[in-house]
Structure 1
Amino acid sequence: MKTKLLLVAFLSVLNLANSQTKSETFKVLKSIPVEGNGGWDYLAVCPANHFIYASHSNQVNIINPETSASEGIIENQSGVHGIAFDQDNRGYITNGKSNSVYIFDVKTNQKIAIIEVGQKPDAVIFDDYSKKIIVANAGSNSLSIINPKDLKVEKTIELIGNPEFLVSDLHGKIFVNIEDKSKIAEINLAEGKVLNYFSLGKDESPSGLAIDHKTHRLFSACEEHLVVVNAEDGKVVNALPIAKGCDGVVFDEKSNMIFASTYSGVLSTYLEKSKDEIVALPDVITEKGARTIAIDASSQKIYVATTKFGSEENKTTHRFPLIDGSFHLLQIGK
């Protein structure tokens, strides 16, 4: 009798775990075609209109994810990388080839200003704590701090290496992946001072970065690992396996799920059950090249970008040619 009760209890727990995993399983919901040719980098979701802003060669495509329709194109850019939005309906586009940030009105898409920053500006975020725009300059190993009140660079913070993506702890600190040093920089923004460099291990080449503000965990997307770091002391908590070619990671605060997008066409997915327990969930199969990612926190929809590729590999770059007119987004959800 006792053995039977134990078996029933075990099966009940197993069924509960299976039902939880099933309810947390994400899948590709639809493909959204996007106008134009050429390469791409970051995606961003505007919190005001929930449109997707996709960097796309020398333009930014604006897409309504509900209708899949184009809501406009911001043209005549110069090597677009990142897009961010402040609290006053202004957008900020980093132009890597012109070492500048293009500022536009979200309501009209019209130009407001152009600001010179460091060399090869790449990632950009709006820090909701300091109310500043922070630009990662990949070519000059620095951060440019823009004050949205006067649209001027008020401070430049020097770094030891190439900054990739960055996040805020919403309490005055910024964390930045240093790609070529396999580290995360911890920065006091008010002082403009680097406090520490957290080591991620050898040759991790971190790119995307996300943060859980509740557990103070950083999720650094590396080539084949999602490295979990305690933001309070800089110690590595775990190095979780992910698919190859990761370039972005997002954290969903509602579900406590982590999503790492990869060039190999796999969205590696984890559930943070507690600050010290993270479990693997089923991978989501996307498409080859879908390495960058954005999340709409309100709808819990995830977006990745890719294109179709030709069949002949370039022997020098080891890349496949992009097929014109095939750029598109994938919407992922439950």
Structure 2
Amino acid sequence: MQTLLTRAQVTLLNVAAAVAILLTSVQPAPADEDKTVVFVCQHGVVNSQMAAAYFNKAAQERRLRFKAVSRGIDLYRSVPVRIRDGLTLDGLEVANTPQQLTLDDMTAADQVVAFDRIPAGRRGRADVTYWSGIPLGIDDYESTRDQIVRRIDALIPALAAEAARDRAPLQLEAKILLGDVRGRIDHLAVDLKRQRLFVAELGNDSIGVVDLAAHSLLRTVGGLNEPQGVGYEPSTETLYVANARDGSVRLFEANEYKATGRIELGSDADNIRIDAAAKHVVVGYGDGGLAVLDPSTRTKVRSLPLRAHPESFQLEPDSGRIFVNLPDAHAVAVVDGASGKQLANWPLDKGGNFAMTIDRDRGRVLVAYRSPTELAVFSTDGKPIANAETCGDVDDLFIDAKRERVYVSCGAGYVDVFEIDGSVYRRMARTPTATGARTALFVPEMDRLFVAVRAGPAGPAAIWVFKPTP
């Protein structure tokens, strides 16, 4: 840019500029406030002022939560009359009092656009987009304005897309490859102490052990028979694996994953839940039963009979009740975990009730149907509260109590995110995953949602790690 100042003028302005810098440096914007675009030119009074003013107008018209400011490399204290008049004719004002560019400005900015080269000492590690070839606005205001506006029109869509990603309630953080794993992947469990995720690789007859701290596969445990359910029992540091093909529950110690036991249930061992309060492991199996296992003796202590094969079931520790999805019976059974007595049967008018969770804070049971695809909410005594359309082929759903949300994992290739507003469940986002990725695990202690993605068009078998926001 052409120099607009004499050395004497610059010297006279040093003190005032320093005070302005201290008072007005850009501060990092909190998540719920506007993000900042810093436009930089040589003196901070011509092209950067024009760009900031026209950008703010465009951002406001498009309801984009970005605010632009102007900064100068060698500061001049006033905006030339020609620039003020040009902005006024377009119904605009200067963006801000002329201010010196600081390293803090660069660090805090979400986007930096410069018309002139920024010295390395002022730039830091910030990424800078240079708009070169644009004439000085004081010489040819209209031409400069038109070129700047065209650049802004190209910049705005990119920022809008970035803002939409930032607002998404689930952010894809990582993809952890599972190695050469083929076929369907079923349920997941976690060892919080070691930060390890266990993946039931049903179609591969194996269990994947993932190191969550390192975002890598630690090992694969083979020799299983269609593993469906997994559960980690922390008091004995034992991994439980339920196998569909032979009905066995295999036990492994949690360091080297050596086999330490086997419990035969007859057929179709499926979902596993850890009852920490009662110090039991509960496994759904066969044509209709829940097996209660004692971790200390590694034996089955009793069976709770059911009318049909249990799919997802949830424990209510305070009451000792167990809520059980029975899709073949089109019902939810409520069972007393201690006595095995069936306390209630909720008949359902829809099919495919495989997924279930409990909202303990609100005293509600959530069930997801596959036919038709719907999320249904009940009180714990079976009274309907709400329903909402959701994605297809649901297999898991979870409550995020911190954010008052529901996550619904679907084999159709999405995670639906619902916000809870009293008795209303409103879908706020549909996050893409991959076809067939229907099983997942939300771990509140780690504040992460893990989605199991089988090998296919989306790539090799992997765990996709989603971070909820804000």
- Aligned mates of 1:122, 1:239 — CA distance in 2: 27
- Aligned mates of 1:294, 1:102 — CA distance in 2: 21
1:140 aligns with 2:287: yes
What percent of counterpart residues are identical?
20
Partner of 2:186: 41
Residue 330 of structure 1: CA displacement? 0.9
| Matches for 1:96-111 after TM superposition, within 5 Å | 96-111=244-259
Partner of 1:170: 317
Residue 50 of structure 1: CA displacement? 2.5
| Matches for 1:185-204 after TM superposition, within 5 Å | 185-202=333-350, 204=351
Residue 108 of structure 1: CA displacement? 2.6
Picking from 291, 295, 298, the partner of 2:442 is 295
1:25 aligns with 2:169: yes
Residue 271 of structure 1: CA displacement? 1.7
What secondary structure is seen at the aligned counterpart in 1 of 2:312? strand
Residues 63/146 of structure 1: CA separation in 2 closer, same or farther (3 Å cut): same
- Aligned mates of 1:290, 1:260 — CA distance in 2: 11
Partner of 1:130: 278
What secondary structure is seen at the aligned counterpart in 2 of 1:108? coil
Contact 1:118–1:142 (CA under 8 A) maintained in structure 2? no
- Aligned mates of 2:401, 2:238 — CA distance in 1: 25
- Aligned mates of 1:162, 1:23 — CA distance in 2: 41
Contact 2:280–2:293 (CA under 8 A) maintained in structure 1? yes
Deviation string, structure 1 residues 250-275 (Cα, Å, up to 9, x no partner): 1122222111111111101112233x
Residues 97/146 of structure 1: CA separation in 2 closer, same or farther (3 Å cut): same
Partner of 2:238: 90
Deviation string, structure 1 residues 173-218 (Cα, Å, up to 9, x no partner): 111111112211111111111111112323x211121111111111
> Which sections of structure 1, spanning at least 5 residues, go unmatched?
1-13, 311-322
- Aligned mates of 2:266, 2:399 — CA distance in 1: 29
- Aligned mates of 1:332, 1:208 — CA distance in 2: 20
Contact 2:305–2:340 (CA under 8 A) maintained in structure 1? no
- Aligned mates of 2:464, 2:301 — CA distance in 1: 38
Partner of 2:426: 279
- Aligned mates of 2:315, 2:200 — CA distance in 1: 22
Residue 22 of structure 1: CA displacement? 7.0
Task: Report which of the two has the higher share of strand.
Answer: 1
- Aligned mates of 1:297, 1:75 — CA distance in 2: 29
- Aligned mates of 2:418, 2:277 — CA distance in 1: 28
1:332 aligns with 2:460: no
Partner of 1:8: none
- Aligned mates of 1:264, 1:189 — CA distance in 2: 34
What secondary structure is seen at the aligned counterpart in 1 of 2:257? coil
- Aligned mates of 1:283, 1:131 — CA distance in 2: 38
Contact 2:191–2:234 (CA under 8 A) maintained in structure 1? no
- Aligned mates of 1:47, 1:201 — CA distance in 2: 39
Partner of 1:50: 195
Partner of 1:244: 392
Residue type of the alignment partner of 2:195: H
Which structure has the greater CA radius of gyration? 2
Picking from 378, 389, 394, the partner of 1:229 is 378
What secondary structure is seen at the aligned counterpart in 2 of 1:163? coil
1:63 aligns with 2:210: yes
- Aligned mates of 1:212, 1:307 — CA distance in 2: 29
1:72 aligns with 2:219: yes
What secondary structure is seen at the aligned counterpart in 2 of 1:168? strand
Contact 2:176–2:217 (CA under 8 A) maintained in structure 1? no
Residue 36 of structure 1: CA displacement? 2.9
Contact 2:312–2:356 (CA under 8 A) maintained in structure 1? yes
> Which sections of structure 2, spanning at least 5 residues, go unmatched?
1-62, 65-162
Task: Give TM-score, length-normalised by structure 1.
Answer: 0.84
- Aligned mates of 1:262, 1:101 — CA distance in 2: 27
What secondary structure is seen at the aligned counterpart in 2 of 1:180? helix
Residue 24 of structure 1: CA displacement? 6.7
Residue type of the alignment partner of 1:230: S
Residue type of the alignment partner of 1:332: F
Task: Report which of the two has the higher share of helix.
Answer: 2
Contact 2:400–2:444 (CA under 8 A) maintained in structure 1? yes
Residue type of the alignment partner of 2:190: V
Task: Give TM-score, length-normalised by structure 2.
Answer: 0.61
Tell me how large the CA RMSD over aligned residues is. 2.3
What secondary structure is seen at the aligned counterpart in 2 of 1:162? coil
- Aligned mates of 1:216, 1:144 — CA distance in 2: 25
